[in-house]
Amino acid sequence: MSMTTILQHCLTGISLGGAYALIAIGYTLVYGILRLINFAHGDIFMMAGYFMIFALTSFPWPIAILITLVVTTLMGIGIERAAYKPLRSAPRMSIMISAIGVSYLLQNLSTYLFTAIPRGYPEIPFLKKIFQMGELSASFVTILTPILTIILVVILMILVNKTKTGMAMRAVSKDFETAKLMGININRVISVTFAIGSFLAGVGSILYFTDRMSVTPFSGTLPGLKCFVAAVFGGIGNIPGAVVGGFFIGIVETLLVALGYSTFSDAFTFFLLIVMLLVRPTGLFGEKTVEKV
């Protein structure tokens, strides 16, 4: 493989990784606060794909993007309210089952509404514009994705570290009960968390599907799980960790596909997960916690 091809693949990988990173943040935030693997997150991402398809049929692209992001965010908050809030005091297994149930519902609902046949993802002309850099060529979205990801992450970090809401989020993730006793409005914090997560999943969805060109009701499952792995890889609850994990998995996956091991690219992600959980369960940047007897 020539250097150019390798670079070309790396570029694609970085772009894919950027989208993964945005989705992984959603997992990491929710896990940090509720200790819940939000199995429905991948399906929120998939639904955002459909929202965009429909929004673009009647609106110009800037408005369509806005609509998609708003609707996705609202859906994230709505799902939390309907399916997770009633189970706040239930055992962890119940809430995880509820998340799986929501994922199941979203998949079936979208199969019903949009059929299982892949829908073409509309092209937003300026995103698909091809740039030529020496021998490398890339569409605008490929370059935009990592940049946009970094910008959003920086904004998010500022939000989490400098604002009052961010402080509340950190407090809740450190100690749910104590934060509650200190008068933090838990439900608001959780809603904000889901809103941020879903918003980023919406952005990730636009970037991801623009490159992939079609959406099916099941296109959220695997990317979703991979992004969770990315979050675990970087240390669950840790935002920069999720970003690093997202990029890492995106790049490795692209390279594996390029080398002809496409069937194993998914398997690799899970292999990575299992190895990580065994060797360093707290992830690359996670803190160690000791369980008290």
Partner 1 sequence: MLKIKRNHLYSIIVLTLLMVFLYWLNANRLQNGMLVSVLQKGVILALVAVSMNLLNGFTGLFSLGQAGFMSIGAYTTAILLIPVQNLDGVYYMNGVHPAIRAFKMMVASSPEFIQIIFPFIALLLGGLLAAFAAAIVGIAVLRLKSDYLAIATLGLSEIVRAIFSSPQFDQVTNGSYGLNKIPNFPPMLWGAIPSLITPFIVVSICIVFIVFLIKSSYGRAFKAIREDEIAAEAMGINLFKHKSMSFIISSFFSAIAGGLLAMYMRSIEAKTFSITLTYDILLIVVIGGIGSVTGSVLSAFLVTAAKEWWLRFFDQPLLIGSWQVPLFRTGFRMVIFSILLMIVVLIYRRGIMGTNEFSWDRILKRLKFKRSKEGGKK
Among 105, 157, 184, 284, binds partner 1 (CB under 8 A): 105
Which amino acid would we find at residue 224?
G
55 or 232, CB closer to partner 1? 232
Output 22 or 37, the one with its CB closest to partner 1: 37
Q: Is the separation of the CB atoms in 226 and 22 below 8 Å?
A: no
Query: Token match 């949009």: residue?
Result: 114
Shortest spacing between CB 239 and partner 1, in angstroms? 19
The Cα–Cα gap between 142 and 127 comes to 8
**Should residue 255 be labelled a site residue for partner 1 when binding is judged by CB under 8 A?**
no
Q: Does 3 bind partner 1 (CB under 8 A)?
A: no
Site string for partner 1, 177-216 (x = CB under 8 A): ----------------------------------------
Give 288: exposed, middle or buried? Use CB within 10 Å, 0-12, 13-18, 19+. Answer: exposed
Amino acid at 105: L
Choose the binding region for partner 1 from 32-40, 58-66, 135-143, 207-215 (rule: CB under 8 A). Answer: 32-40
252 forms part of the interface with partner 1 (CB under 8 A): no
| 100 part of the interface to partner 1, by CB under 8 A | yes
The amino acid occupying position 219 is: S
* DSSP-derived 3-state class of residue 289: coil
165 binds partner 1 per the rule CB under 8 A: no
- Give the per-residue contact string, 259-278, with partner 1 (x = CB under 8 A; - = no): ----xx-xx-xxx-xx--xx
Structure-token pair, residue 154 = 């920086």
Q: What angle do CA 283, 76, 107 make, to 5 degrees?
A: 90
β-bridge partners, 188: none
Do residues 252 and 13 touch, judged by C-beta distance below 8 A? Answer: yes
- Judged by the rule CB under 8 A, the positions of this chain that interact with partner 1 are 35-37, 83, 86-87, 90, 92-94, 96-98, 100-105, 107-109, 111-113, 115, 218, 221, 225, 228-229, 232, 263-264, 266-267, 269-271, 273-274, 277-278, 281, 293
